[in-house]
Structure 1
Amino acid sequence: MQPKHIDTDERPFVLIWEVTQACDLACKHCRAEAQPRRHPDELTTEEGKQLLDEARRFGDGQLVVLSGGDPLYRDDTLELVEYGVDRGLRMTLTPSGTTSLTADRIQALANAGLRRMALSIDGGSAETHDAFRKETGSFEQTVTAARAAREAGLPLQVNTTVCAETVDELPEIRELVADLGAVLWSVFFLVPVGRGQVLDPISPDRAERVMEWLTSVSSEAPFGIKTTEAPHYRRVAIQQQRSATGGDEARDGPPDGIGRRTGITAGDGFAFVSHTGNVYPSGFLPEAAGNVRERDLVDIYRESPLFEDLRDPDALRGKCGACEYRQVCGGSRSRAYAYTGDPLASDPLCAYVPDGYDGPLPEQSLSD
């Protein structure tokens, strides 16, 4: 099924399963606060296969991301990929850039039918990336793995975190994404959860400028661009297109390299299963709607009040609720939750104020 035909009331476009929180890295932004030990209550191999069976019930070609921590910390990851592929799922993986990510393992994953591998690059050089990842050699290992993926014929996605420490690196990273032959650049705007609470975000005005730049990059880059936890990228792109054409033709936002035009936000086209089976709207919105050990995943996604509220743009409050772009944007529900405890509040990273809106504005506690 084409992404544009997915009814997000019925199924997520993206289902992430955090198979483990264990990882050899201690990255500054890590949502999971990963550590080099596996949790004793992780979903077992059999429970994981049952989860994949449930994911199959969402419909043909459900996209599943095996994430972490480092998913390769588990010795059954290849088995889980093979099982998901056999069930007709589109299996992808986000491993850490460590010595465990060898060319042989990448080739085995490609042979198993993995659809895409995503690697994180947060600096345009070894010095800046390794400082952010707090691991000397991480940059070289990640680039080596990216090249091995290309040799294996495995499509590559590059993930980048945007915060005060990394924002000036974006032009260099953009060049590296192209050089590595990536098919998609996923640009994640920091949400202060986990270790990321100690990092400084960029300001709303700086975020606006970054999104304007990303829009220009997307028009000529050999790869797709999507933003994570920054759905107002679509609003920025629509405004730029309308300005260029002098009309209002661009109503849905730009495609993001994987076929999505309307907003995919926490709980609305997106679901996250933790290493212990808790189901969240997003890994960055840690409010559980249930646990797959106790309730069916499909039912949790379709019927839990939290997910239903997040799929209703008219339930949004404050500036986001009054915004004419709420159908294609809706703001980051995760960031709203992180700053206010209310997942339906306004996103404090968005600088846009709708015409005629004179209500309360989000707390502007973000800074460059």
Structure 2
Amino acid sequence: MTATHPHVAQDPHGETPSHPHHAPAVRTIRHDINTKPFIVIWETTRACQLVCKHCRADAQHRAHPEQLTTEQGKALLDDLAAYEAPRPLVVFTGGDAFEREDLAELCRYGTEKGLSISLSPSITPLVTPERLHEMREAGGKAISLSLDGATAETHDSFRGFPGTFDASIEASQWMREEGFRLQVNSVFTKGNIKEAPALLKTVMGMGAFMWYTFMLVPTGRGADLNALNPEEREDVLNWLHDISDRIAIKTTEAPQYRRIAIQRERAREQGIPIPYQVAHRGELYHYLTEETTRLLGDHPEKPRRPRAPMAVNSGSGFAFIDHLGDVYPNGFLPKHCGNVKQTPFHEIYTDSPVFQALRKPDEFKGKCGVCEFNKLCGGSRSTAYAMTGDYLASDPTCLWVPPAWTEQMEGSPRHMG
């Protein structure tokens, strides 16, 4: 059982619990995430016609000849369906998942086995009203699309093809008309972050139920882009917390969002000052806040109940399976843990030494290992690996200095005498 926290709500399957406007800051999972993941991402293919600048997969135009076959995919879904309820959420992604001609067959098979299937296609000519209807009929419940800028110029530059911005807006209408729950994914870099308030307005106008924001990890093609520095990340995460009464927010590779949520909620409840490192927000935060007010007003007309983020981390509630069947803690952490063609997924998830190490945050190195938030945050393991070569190292992008780390440093020989 995952440890609870005074500012943590338990939620069995990721739905927003009923609560007053000021919700518990973070939700944990009721089941034992040492033996069962909360969510599994399956990269059904690496084929994709786009050339996205930040692509983790460095996607190719043709499917790999050894990608999981239909029958191998069904065997994987059988394994996931064998878990006791609540079963893991399953996301079909890519590359471009719609490049697989058997995608509806796989979706229907998984749904009939009791799995909740979500879809994450690329916006190409393969996304049509007819294809979306087919996937909805096959049991797909939620779907996501990417929008990385508030203008066609910015987004199309990210995606490598003109016209993808307008196509994304049109596709979002089709998705909503088919009854899909729509999630919009956005990558934040130095090049597009100042468009974030305008992008928020666009995302809300699309009728999305969630905005899934991603802090760039320098892997794949994304290694060539300018990631936000630690101060900018802290500003952005505080801004995201501010706007969570406008739209549900989920972050990727920014678990510090949970730490900020806890610190700010604790300060509100106890009437104590917000820690200086959280309260001292910089120029970017003030720009984002002022621009949001200009575009959307001071407060939403109908404030929503902020959605408490989930305490799910790489290898600890989260797993990624690539197109060949290789299993990783997530798609941005290239630590190979096994292959489902040889070993059932559930065995890899439970027994892999890498997965097991990721579930022991007290043994992480540096300040992450002694941080009071390490069981709920733990730092981005992908970022730590990309920047240091050690997936158990402290996350270099986190500004927070835990009191235990300060005490440890003050007691070290170099601080004595």
Q: Of 248, 259, 266, which aligns to 1:242? A: 266
Q: Of 127, 130, 135, which aligns to 2:161? A: 135
Aligned residue in 1 for 2:372: 324
Name the SS of the counterpart of 2:324 in structure 1: coil
Aligned residue in 2 for 1:365: none
**2:48 counterpart of 1:23:** yes
The amino acid that maps onto 1:280 is: Y
The amino acid that maps onto 2:102 is: D
The 2-side partners of 1:129 and 1:294 are apart by 40
Question: Taking every aligned residue pair, what percent have the same amino acid on both sides?
Answer: 46
Deviation at 1:261, TM superposition (A): 4.4
Contact 1:278–1:292, Cα closer than 8 Å, also in 2? yes
Name the SS of the counterpart of 1:185 in structure 2: strand
Contact 2:370–2:404, Cα closer than 8 Å, also in 1? no
Q: TM-score, normalised by structure 1?
A: 0.92
Distance 1:247 1:302, change over 3 A: farther
* Cα offsets for 1:252-283 (capped at 9, x unmatched): xxx984xx644211101100001001000000
The 2-side partners of 1:142 and 1:33 are apart by 21
Aligned residue in 2 for 1:286: 334
Contact 1:28–1:196, Cα closer than 8 Å, also in 2? yes
The 1-side partners of 2:178 and 2:42 are apart by 24
The amino acid that maps onto 1:326 is: N
Which 5+ residue runs of structure 1 have no aligned equivalent? 361-368
Q: Of 277, 294, 313, which aligns to 1:265? A: 313
The 2-side partners of 1:282 and 1:98 are apart by 25
Aligned residue in 2 for 1:65: 91
Greater Rg by CA: 2
The 1-side partners of 2:259 and 2:118 are apart by 28
Which structure 2 residues correspond to residues 276-355 of structure 1 after superposition, within 5 A?
A: 276-355=324-403
The 2-side partners of 1:319 and 1:256 are apart by 29
The 2-side partners of 1:90 and 1:225 are apart by 21
Q: TM-score, normalised by structure 2?
A: 0.81
Aligned residue in 2 for 1:363: none
Q: Of 2, 25, 34, which aligns to 2:13? A: 2
Which structure 2 residues correspond to residues 148-159 of structure 1 after superposition, within 5 A?
A: 148-159=174-185
Contact 1:226–1:256, Cα closer than 8 Å, also in 2? no
Which 5+ residue runs of structure 2 have no aligned equivalent? 1-11, 15-28, 275-304, 410-417
Contact 1:229–1:334, Cα closer than 8 Å, also in 2? yes
**2:230 counterpart of 1:182:** no
The 1-side partners of 2:94 and 2:338 are apart by 20
Which structure 2 residues correspond to residues 35-50 of structure 1 after superposition, within 5 A?
A: 35-50=60-75
Deviation at 1:339, TM superposition (A): 1.2
Which structure 2 residues correspond to residues 92-171 of structure 1 after superposition, within 5 A?
A: 92-171=118-197
The 2-side partners of 1:341 and 1:40 are apart by 31
